[in-house]
Chains A and B, each alone.
Chain A
Amino acid sequence: MSLTDVRAMRTEEPKHAPPPRAKFWLYRFDTKTVPYLLIAPFFILFAIFGLFPIIFNGVVALRHWRLDDPTLTGWAGMENFTKLASDTDFWDALVNTFGIFILSTVPQLLIALMLANLLNRKLRGATFWRIGVLLPYVTPVAASTLVFAVFFSRDYGMANWLLSLVGFGEEQPLDWRATTWSSWIAIATMVNWKWIGYNALLYLSAMQAIPKDVYEAAAVDGAGPWRQLWRITVPMIQPVVLFTVILSTIGGLQLFNEPMLFDENPALANGGYDHQWRTIAQLIYKVGWRDLNLGYAAAMSWALFLIILIVAAINALATRRLGGGK
């Protein structure tokens, strides 16, 4: 839109002094075509690696495609999707995904906000602290998750050792993978650990753009630090909050590595022996690459895509209200 606007204005200018013909074409080429050429690499790559897989996935979702039985092929129509609606595995995985999502996103963003607020003060070695919180983000997720898997192990895990220091589980150590709540907490901890620092830095950068005199005025009016945080800081960094909420929604609903590697035998893609922490992304992997049922896995991927769109939209609306009303 804006491109055409600019062009419309410019084309009127040559009326005063018409340029030579060759120069005119060069000029037209420069204004009309070059911008598209410059942005083309992104769109070409996106079409190949983004758009095409999505569309192809949509086609596969409407077909039967089993790797273990090449004879089972052909058009399925909406069959995969109707099967999905009554598949308890899918709905259980959806509940798990949302449970872990809430356990990870809410504390993650709140703690990040507090952390950013702390980092925004005058601290000794401010750069050190600011870089420090980013370290978990730099750690490869597979590496950190493997460490966490050992951390939360039943027999010789550090988590249980820490609990035993406060006198818990000395008789019977806590089997983190056995119950739903403990496995969700363990996985949420891994996610939080990784992303808190990253979000805190985003918040921090937004906070530094807030003029100091706003706080001074608030302080004169008698607003304490807590009130300043919620009434000034949060509304004023609201666009960044919105961004992080949407990003963690997408990440949270696609959660894969952490639950996958948390399993005792990751190759099985179980998500716990009762599938108590199997997320949708994990279920898609299991259906696609263990059951070798690609059509059904593709249908699940599309369902997940739609769910993410809906939840991200709801979260975006909710976050807009966060600062807008006041």
Chain B
Amino acid sequence: MERFGRRAARVGAAGLAAALAIAGCSGQALEGNDSSTEGGQVTLKVNFWGDMGLDQLKAKYEADHPNVKIVLNSGEYNAQHEDLQKKLVAGSGAPDISAVDEGFIVQFRSQADQFVNLNDKGASSFESKYLPWKWQASQSTDGKQIGLGTDVGGLAMCYRTDLFKAAGLPTDRDAVSKLWPSWDQFIETGKTYTAKTGKKFVDSATNLFNPVLSQQPVGFYDQQETLQMEGGPKAGFDVAMKAIDAGLSANLASFQPNWDQGFTKDQFAVLACPAWMLGHIQKTAPNQAGKWDIAAIPGGGGNWGGSWWTIPKQGKNVDEAYKFVEWLVQPEQQIEVFKKVGNLPSQPELYQNKEILDFKKEFFTNAPTGQIFATTAANLKPQYLGKKNGPTRVAVENVINRVQQGQLKSADAWAEAVKEAEKASKS
């Protein structure tokens, strides 16, 4: 008991706030339900991580729907998914609406019975609007639709123009893209940078492994859920090892305090960035406005992350929740989210939308983020992510990190990675 109490403290302010919100809101939701006979006041609790650009949309929706109160609860990425899983098992306490990321969607769609089948609520009319693979990814094998897609994470490469300039590298985004059509050329560029400046080039070798892996036709698992280490994972692993051996990695764990510090202390010059990463960079290093730009990713294509809005069945106000979700995925709102935090919609029609195509992000040296990410998303070849994709990725990343820490020789690392991945696939 006490241990779980302490764990709540562990996730820090965000988690604590989340716990408080859970305690507070479940009560409010109940009250809302009681009074629904009288005034019809409904409270909707929305769980997600990071910044999904909902703050203003919430106010707007509440103004249009005076009977609805929306409670936004942003937490840590892993914690939010684990929390949802626990609440589904417990049968109560889940939020009215929960964001689910690509990395967890397979796990949750296999429990489709726990979610409202959005097709029953009329979501099937949206099918034609979505990228086909985005629509299918949140569908259970028996055709239940558990989520409506929000964004996709088509990849680009963010880089620091000021650091590039200091290293004598080109700074124009087209010229930079030409530096690295392939990952080998990317590593050569990194060597030049490191030789000139004595600084590290990338934040972590794991953030090379993941993009390269996502560009491969088959990831960790094939459609039959068999572990396939020799294909995609090997390609990504080799690039990661080359980067470590060349001394390019700053060895910072992503989304952790040291990583955030790495931004402000110029510890790395490039970062593989899906559209949603732009928001994180802006938030972490607000004083670096105009010092970032966005070039093409080596190798071309690839996807990292992207989410769905789901409605757990146990909620008291699933109809109101669906109305809100339906409103959220309308083009107008999707465009607003894109402008605010950069998340790229998963509805291809919007890739032709003038508002998106003309949009330029001041923070990223006026890079036309709409054009850049719309192109990557349209050309995306989706990869099947197995049920055990999450733990397997952690296991292989652990091995890469051991090499980065100098505790494992890069020559021995692949055998170790295969061993650990097999273990994780059986966990």
Interface residues of A (CB under 8 A from B): 49, 53, 67-70, 140-142, 146, 150, 153-156, 175, 177-179, 254, 256-257, 260-261, 264-268, 270, 273-274, 281, 285, 287, 289-293
Contacts and interface: CB of A to CB of B under 8 A. Distances in A.
Contact of A281 (B1, B3, B408, B427): B3
B246 interface: no
A268 B78 CA distance: 8
A292 B401 CA distance: 24
B255 A265 contact: yes
A60 to B, nearest CB: 13
Given A264-B253, A292-B85, A155 B261 contact: yes
Nearest to A292: B85
A79 B12 CA distance: 37
A69 B110 contact: yes
B394 A270 contact: yes
Contact of B10 (A142, A156, A290): A142
Contact of B391 (A261, A264, A267, A290): A290
A267 B80 CA distance: 10
9 contacts: A68-B110, A140-B9, A142-B9, A142-B12, A146-B12, A150-B257, A267-B77, A267-B78, A293-B427
A274 B419 CA distance: 13
Interface residues of B, number: 40
Contact of A142 (B6, B89, B267, B394): B6
Nearest to A155: B258
Interface of B: 1, 3, 6-7, 9-12, 76-79, 82, 85-86, 89, 107, 110-111, 253-258, 261, 265, 267, 387, 391, 394, 398-399, 401-402, 405-408, 427
Contact of A67 (B12, B79, B85, B253): B85
**Chain A interface, >50% SS class:** loop
B427 A257 contact: no
A256 B405 contact: no
Contacts of B107: 68
A261 B256 CA distance: 12
A289 B90 CA distance: 13
B137 to A, nearest CB: 17
Contact of A141 (B1, B6, B254, B427): B6
A179 B407 contact: yes
Q: Top 8 closest A-B pairs, CB basis?
A: A264-B253, A267-B78, A142-B9, A178-B405, A273-B401, A273-B398, A291-B427, A273-B402
